[in-house]
């Protein structure tokens, strides 16, 4: 549905490419989605349950 580049920090948090802001996805229709994170040096992870996206949401693995 949507893809974004982001940075994986040493504390495990994922931030926007500016290094500080939360990663945001614009133009996504509200609904339930699985979140998948890919990193070239790590195994990909996927949320175990669909996450309800609305105006603003934080996702913790």
Q: pLDDT tens for residues 14-24?
A: 899 998 888 88
58 backbone dihedrals φ, ψ, rounded to 5°: -110, 145
Q: pLDDT tens for residues 39-57?
A: 888 899 898 999 888 776 6
Tokens of 54: 């609305």
Kindly state the DSSP code that residue 17 receives in the 8-state scheme: T
Domain locations along the chain = 7-53
Greater confidence (2 vs 58) lies with 2
pLDDT at 49: 92
Give the N- to C-terminal CA distance of the chain in Å, as an integer: 20
Q: pLDDT tens for residues 23-44?
A: 888 788 888 989 898 888 889 9
């Amino acid at each position: 549905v949507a893809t974004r580049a982001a940075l994986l920090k040493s504390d495990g948090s994922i931030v926007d490419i500016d290094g500080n802001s939360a990663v945001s996805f614009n133009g996504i229709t509200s609904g339930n989605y699985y979140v998948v994170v890919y990193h070239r040096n790590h195994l990909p992870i996927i949320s175990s349950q669909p996450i309800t996206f609305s105006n603003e949401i934080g996702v913790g693995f």
